[in-house]
Amino acid sequence: MAILPILEVPDPRLRRISAPVEAMTDEIRTLIADMFEAMYAAPGIGLAAAQVDVPLRLLVMDLVDGPPDASGKGTRNPRVFINPEILDPSEERSVYNEGCLSVPDQYAEVERPAVIRARWRDQDWVEHEQLLDGLLATCLQHEMDHLNGVLFIDHLSRLKRDMLLKKLAKARADSGRKARAA
Ligand code: GNR
Ligand code: NI
Radius of gyration of the chain (CA): 17
Residue nearest to atom 6 of ligand 1 (CA): 98
To the nearest whole percent, how much of the chain has pLDDT over 90?
Answer: 90
Cα separation of 27 and 38, whole Å? Answer: 16
At 72, give phi and psi (nearest 5°).
85, 0
**pTM for the whole structure:** 0.94
Whether residue 73 is predicted with pLDDT greater than 60 in this model: the reply is: no
Cα separation of 34 and 131, whole Å? Answer: 28
The closest ligand to the CA of 137 turns out to be 1
Cα separation of 17 and 6, whole Å? Answer: 17
Mean pLDDT in residue range 106-114: 98
Cβ–ligand 1 distance for 145 under 6 Å, the answer: no
Residue 64 pLDDT level (bands cut at 50, 70, 90): confident
Average predicted confidence (pLDDT) for the chain: 95
* 66: alpha, beta or left? (left if phi > 0; alpha if psi -120 to 50): left
Q: Mind listing the domains of the chain with CATH numbers?
A: 12-171 (3.90.45.10)
Cβ–ligand 1 distance for 141 under 6 Å, the answer: no
